[in-house]
Structure 1
């Protein structure tokens, strides 16, 4: 097993991202034959209803987590919520799931997003370079157009 620190958590819902400020987080690659990962996040209990509703729906939940360093690209996972624990004014949420993609397509998704917004030429290059550094959040499920 390999363990890493979770820096940020986003939930993808209808190609929109919901950002959640986490206090702390941990992700574990179980390195089993099924490719299972465990993600535990510790955050404010103000979000408990959102996650209880997601848990009760029994549907898979797409999440994106930034692992280890803020500058890293987000990793997308298809998960289910295994456990929600309330602790004073915080909650711990345990997700279990599988990595959605082995190859990160962030640059392609970003470039497609910028082109759709009307950027072209030198302006496109300048915006792309800037955004590759600032890493704005873009749903990983937003597939680049070919």
Structure 2
């Protein structure tokens, strides 16, 4: 098993990407035969209702995370909530999931996102370069 720092997390809720502010987090590659990962996130208690709803649905949902350093490309997972633990001011969420793609598709997804926003020519190139440097989360693509 390999353990990494979870830097940021975004959850797809229907057609909206929800930015989940992490207090702390870890991600563990279990390196098992099913290629499963464990994600542990410590969050503000304001996210309890949101994650409780996802837990009750009892199905996988897409998740986008950045691992180790904030300038790394986002990794995309299909996850399911294993447990939610409530504390005084925080909650602890344990998720299990699979990496959606071993190949990083951030540049392709970013380009698709920018084109869908109507950008082209020099504006497209400028915005693409800026967002590739900042690794800003994508708003309109679940890939």
TM over 0.5: yes
Q: 2:92 — aligned with what? A: 92
Moved over 4 A (4+): none
Q: TM-score, normalised by structure 2?
A: 0.94
- Residue in 1 that maps onto 2:104: 104
Q: What TM-score, normalized by structure 1, do the two folds share?
A: 0.92
Is the 1:65–1:76 Cα contact (8 Å) retained in structure 2?
yes
Which position in structure 2 is the counterpart of 1:73?
73
Query: How many aligned positions are there?
Result: 143
User: What is the Cα deviation at residue 111 of structure 1?
Assistant: 0.9
| 1:3–1:29 contact (8 Å) kept in structure 2 | yes
User: 2:60 is matched with which residue?
Assistant: 60
Report how far residue 139 of structure 1 moved.
5.6
Q: Which runs of 5 or more structure 1 residues have no equivalent in the other structure?
A: none
Matched, 1:82 2:82: yes
